[in-house]
Structure 1
Amino acid sequence: MVLAALGCISSSLLFLTPWGSNLRISLAEMVINTQHRDWAWMLVGAEKRDDMVNKMQQQIDVWGTDKQHDGLIKPDTRKRSASDLIKVVDIQDENHNTPTWRGKKMYVYDPRTIRLVTTSHKQEGEKISDMVKRTGALAGVNGGAFDDPQGLGNGFAPIGFLMSGGEVILTEYDGSVKQHVVGFTKKGILKIGLYSINELIKDGVTEAAFWKPRIIEDGKGLITSGDGGAGRDPRTALCQTKNGTIIFLVIDGRQPGYSMGATLKEVQDLFLAEGCMNAGFLDGGASSELVADGKLQTKPASRYGERRLPDGFLVFADPSSYKADNMWDGLTKIDAGGAYDNPGYQQEQAKLRAKATHSPSSPKPTAVHTPKATSEVDKPPTISPKSSPPITGDPEPVKKSPTPKSSTSPSPSPAKGSAPPKHTTGSDSVNEGNISSSSSKP
C-alpha cells in the first residue's frame, strides 16, 4: 500500500507539475542524444519526441550555416619546443556544490601541429592511445562520427568524410554537398560549420572530419536560451582563440558519483570565458577521451574502456612526419561490426559462461515448488531499435517496433544543400556502403 501510494505521488509529480514536465524533457533530451533515441517516448510521448528531434536538428543546421571570418584569427607562428607546445589541466563543474562533471582541458599553442590520424588496422578502428604510441604524437583526442551498432561497433565506419594532409581519404557524398565540418587549414585556422569538400579545399583545409554542432561563431555564443537541448553527456569539444591557440575539452560522463557529463551550454560558457572565437564539438559519449604524456588522461564511459575509433586529432612535435593510412581504399562496403566481433563483449560473455559452468547448484528451498535458477549466460546487451546518430544531421524516421513505441513522424529536414539522410544505426552511425575512398590529393 505504501509503495503504491509513493508510486502515485511520484507519477503525479512527473506528469502533473511544471517541475516534473521540465525534468521529463531534460531526461528525454539526454536519451535522444544516445543510440537509444526511440525510448524517449516513455518520457514525453512519440509525437513530442519526434518534434524535439526535428527542432534540435533544425537549430543545429542554423548554427552551422553562416561562414566564420577567418581574418579575426592571428595564429602565433613562433617555433615551439615539444615541452612548450601543449598544456593539460584538470577541470570540474564550479557552479554546483557537488560537481556534476569532471574532465581535462588541453591547450595546443600551435594549431599547425594538429593532424587527423586514421586507423592503421584493416576492418577495425584503433584506440587513441595506440595511435599516439604508433605515430610518436604528443597527445590526442577522439575525432569524428562513426557507425556504432548497439554501441559495440568496430570503429571502422566513419560518417561523412575524412581529410588528412590535404587528401580526401574517404567521403560519402560528392564535393558540392555541404556537411558539418570540424577542420584545420594549413595555416592553422580552425573551421567549424556547414561546408562542402570543394569549399574546404578552396579555403586550404588539410585536416577535417564530420561532426557538430558549432556553438561559437566569431566570438559570439550561439546558444542563447536553455542548455542546448542535448542534456548531460560525455563531451569532446574544441575552440580557437584570437592568437590561434586551440583548446580541447574532454568531459567525462555517465558515471554517477563521479561525472554525469556537461550540457552544450556549459561547454559554450567555458569556451567564452577563455576568449574563444569559434568552437564546436567532436564525437562524444563513450568515445570521448584524451591521451597525453603517454597515458589515458580521462575516464571513458564505455564499460570496455577505450574504444576502437576510425580517426582522431593528434598533436605532433613534427606534424610533417605523419602520413595517413587509407585502410578504406578500394572498399565499396564497410562492415561496422557489432556484438559478434567486439572483443570486450566476447570476453564478458566468456566469463559468464565460465561462471555458470563452475557455479555450484543452488540448494532447494523448503517450499514444495523449487524455482528453476536463471542464468545470465549469453544474455545480449540491452539494444534499442535502430536509430540515427544523436544530434548529428539527418536522422531517419524511427522504425516501428513493439517496444518501445515507434515513431511515425517524417525525418527532420537537413539544411539546404546539406547531406541527405543516409545514417541508419548507432550513436555514431553511417549506413553500410555508399562510401567512396580516395587517396588522390585534391
Structure 2
Amino acid sequence: MQKYDNISLVLIFFDIESSNRILEQERNNLGSSIIEHFRSYSWLKRILLVIAVCTFLSSSFLFLTPPGTFIREYLAKTVITTQHRDWAWIFVGAQRRDQMVLEMQNLTEVNSVEKQDLQAVQFNTNRSIESLVKVEDISGQFWKGKKMYVYDPRTIRVVVPAKQGEGERITSMVQRTGAVAGVNGGGFNDPDGLGNGFAPIGAIMSGGEILYTDQEGSIPQHIVGFTKEGTLIIGKYTIDDLLKLGVTDAVSFYPRVIANGKPLITSGDGGWGRAPRTAVGQKADGTVIFIVIDGRQTQSVGATLKEVQDMFLADGVINAGFLDGGASSEMVYNDELITKPSSRYGERRLPSAFLVFDHPDEVKVKNVWAGLTNIDPGGAYDHPDFLKEQAEIKAKPPKATPKPTATPTPSQKPESSNDPVKNGGTTQNPSESDNGSGKPSSTGKPQTSPTTTPTSTPTPTPPASSATPTPTPGTGGGTTGSGGSSTGASATPKPSATPTPSSNSTQGQQGSSNGANGATPSQPVTSSPPVK
C-alpha cells in the first residue's frame, strides 16, 4: 500500500512540474505575442499608448496615495499665491481650493493678533556710520537670493513715486533720492499682473505722515513699519494705533512669521508653496534684516514661508514678516539691481519701497495721492512694455509658404498657363495670412486713448465699521493680478489730505502679492491669500 502511495506522489509531482512548464511556455508565448503586436504599431500609436500608461500610473499615484495627495496640495498652495489662483482646482478641486484659501487667511489673522513687546529691542548705539549696510548672497536647495543687514533702523524710510498716475521702479527711487539701498514695500491693485503700480492697498506712511489709506482710522490693517526710535512693528494695527505708537514709516502686507521671539509656523511649510519672497525682521540689538528670494525661474524656484522664517531665527530675529513678493520682489544696492525679478518685463513700477539713507532726516517724501478721489490702477491697456510687445508681434511679417514649381523634363516644354494650379502654385494671398498677434486683455479702456477714459467704478464710500480688512495675496509675489477676492471699501478722505483709494481698489482687490509675499493687504477677512 505504501508503494502505491509513493508512486502516486511521484506522478502528482511530475504532473505539477509539467503544468508549470506549460504555463511558463504560455506566458512566454503571450509576452512574445504582446511584444510583436506592440512592434506592429505605428510610432504614433506607440507614443499614445505610452502617454496613456504614464497618465494612468501618475493619476493613480497622485489621487490614490498619501504622498500623491501631499504633492497635489503643495502644488495647489503654490498656484493659490499666483495670479492664477482659480486654477488650483485642477489639483484639489474647487471645494478644497476654497477651503485651503480660508485656512491660509485664518492662520494669517491669528498670527497677526499678538502685540509686540516694544521694550524687547535694545539698540546698539556704538556702531559707526561706515557699517550702515552689509549685503550677502544666500541660497537654498531650490532658491537663490540676497540678505541685507541694516545696523541702524532709523536710516530706513518709506519712499513713494515721484509723480501721480504711475508707480516707480526701485532703481529709479534709489537714484533719485540718493539712497544707499532699497527693497520693495507694500501691495497694490494689479489688474492682469500689468498694473501701473499707483493704486496701493492698505496704508502708506512716511516721515510720520499718512500718505495713503483705504480704511478708516479705527479699522485694523496688516502693517509693516518702524517707530521713530527704529523699532520694527508687524501685525494688525489701526491708523490710530500707529499714531499712538509713534510709527513714522509703514506699508501694508503680511503674513507675520515671528512674534516676540516665537516662530509662528510650527508645522508644515507655511502653506503658500514656493515663490519669490521679500521679508523683513529685526534682532534684539535693533539690526534690521531684509531678505529677497528670487523665484519662478529655472535657477531659483522660490522659497517657502518656513524657510525664510528659519533663516531669520538662525540670525536671532525676534520679530519678522513679509512684504509684497512675487514679481515685485527685488533688492537694489549702490544704484544696482542685485536680484532677478520674475516679471518678464524686468523691474516693476511700485507704489512704495523701504530705502536706506546716510542722512534720513534730509529726505522729503511728497504725497502724490493728495487730493485724488479716483485712482486708475492701469492694466494691459496702458502697460508700455506689454503694448510694445504686442506691437512687435503685429509688425512681424507673416511667414510666406513657398510655392512649389514644376520642373520640366527635357522632353517637356514648360507650360505658360497662368493657372496657379497647373503651375504648382497656390491661390492664397500671403498678405491675408494671420499675423498671430494677440489683443491685450480687456480692461474696459480703449488702447488708443487710455488717459482720457475715466474709470468705470464709482467713487468709493466709507466702509462699514464692522469690516475688518486683511491683505489679500499679492500679485507682485506676485501676486497675481487677479489676486484678491475681497471687496473692502475705501475710506472717506480726511481734511488732513489723506487720499481715498480709487474705486478700482474697492473691487476685486487684485493686489500685488508675494506668494508669501503674494498678498495684497487691507482686504476683508474673506479675501484670499496674497498672490502675484
Instruction: Give the TM-score category using the shorter length.
Output: 0.7 to 0.9
Q: Which residue of 1 aligns with 2:524?
A: none
1:362 aligns with 2:401: yes
Q: 1: distance between equivalents of 2:380 and 2:297?
A: 23
CA spacing shift, 1:17–1:243, aligned 2, 3 Å: same
Q: Which residue of 2 aligns with 1:59?
A: 107
Would the aligned equivalents of 1:251 and 1:262 in 2 still touch at CA under 8 Å?
yes
Q: Which residue of 2 aligns with 1:339?
A: 380
Would the aligned equivalents of 2:222 and 2:471 in 1 still touch at CA under 8 Å?
no
Secondary structure of 1:67 counterpart? coil
Q: Which residue of 2 aligns with 1:426?
A: 481
1:288-330 residue CA offsets vs partner (Å, 9 max, x unmatched): 0000011000000000000000010000000011122211111
Secondary structure of 1:331 counterpart? coil
Q: 2: distance between equivalents of 1:79 and 1:306?
A: 33
Q: CA deviation at 1:360?
A: 3.9
RMSD: 2.8
* 1:152-301 paired onto structure 2 within 5 Å: 152-256=194-298, 258-301=299-342
Would the aligned equivalents of 1:329 and 1:437 in 2 still touch at CA under 8 Å?
no
Q: CA deviation at 1:378?
A: 2.2
Would the aligned equivalents of 1:238 and 1:249 in 2 still touch at CA under 8 Å?
yes
Of 215-224 and 422-431, more deviation after overlay is shown by 422-431
Q: 2: distance between equivalents of 1:207 and 1:46?
A: 40
Would the aligned equivalents of 1:332 and 1:434 in 2 still touch at CA under 8 Å?
no
Amino acid at match of 2:331: L
Structure 2, unaligned runs of 5 or more: 1-48, 405-423, 444-465, 475-479, 499-532
Q: Which residue of 2 aligns with 1:411?
A: none
1:370-411 residue CA offsets vs partner (Å, 9 max, x unmatched): 99965431254799xxxxxxxxxxxxxxxxxxxxxxxxxxxx
* 1:130-141 paired onto structure 2 within 5 Å: 130-141=172-183
Q: Which residue of 1 aligns with 2:369?
A: 328
Secondary structure of 1:60 counterpart? helix
1:26 aligns with 2:82: no
Q: CA deviation at 1:2?
A: 1.8
Would the aligned equivalents of 1:157 and 1:335 in 2 still touch at CA under 8 Å?
yes
Secondary structure of 1:206 counterpart? strand
CA spacing shift, 1:218–1:432, aligned 2, 3 Å: closer
Structure (1 or 2) with the larger CA radius of gyration: 2
Q: 1: distance between equivalents of 2:403 and 2:69?
A: 48
Q: CA deviation at 1:435?
A: 5.4
CA spacing shift, 1:361–1:367, aligned 2, 3 Å: closer
Q: 2: distance between equivalents of 1:362 and 1:426?
A: 39
Q: CA deviation at 1:67?
A: 0.2
Q: CA deviation at 1:343?
A: 1.1
Secondary structure of 2:327 counterpart? helix
Q: 2: distance between equivalents of 1:11 and 1:69?
A: 50
Q: 1: distance between equivalents of 2:395 and 2:378?
A: 25
Q: Which residue of 1 aligns with 2:118?
A: 70
Q: Which residue of 1 aligns with 2:7?
A: none
CA spacing shift, 1:438–1:313, aligned 2, 3 Å: farther
Amino acid at match of 1:167: E
1:90 aligns with one of 115, 137, 144: 137
1:2 aligns with one of 50, 53, 76: 50
Structure 1, unaligned runs of 5 or more: 94-98, 384-415
Q: 1: distance between equivalents of 2:218 and 2:131?
A: 40
Amino acid at match of 1:362: T
Amino acid at match of 1:26: Y
Q: 2: distance between equivalents of 1:255 and 1:381?
A: 24
Q: 2: distance between equivalents of 1:70 and 1:154?
A: 36
Secondary structure of 2:324 counterpart? coil
Q: CA deviation at 1:433?
A: 8.2
Q: CA deviation at 1:216?
A: 0.2
Amino acid at match of 2:400: S
Q: TM-score, length-normalised on structure 1?
A: 0.85
Q: Which residue of 2 aligns with 1:313?
A: 354
Would the aligned equivalents of 1:169 and 1:439 in 2 still touch at CA under 8 Å?
no
Q: CA deviation at 1:138?
A: 0.3
CA spacing shift, 1:340–1:379, aligned 2, 3 Å: closer
Q: CA deviation at 1:434?
A: 3.0
Would the aligned equivalents of 1:25 and 1:44 in 2 still touch at CA under 8 Å?
yes
Q: CA deviation at 1:261?
A: 0.4
Would the aligned equivalents of 1:184 and 1:207 in 2 still touch at CA under 8 Å?
yes
CA spacing shift, 1:439–1:294, aligned 2, 3 Å: farther
CA spacing shift, 1:150–1:432, aligned 2, 3 Å: farther
Name the % identity.
54
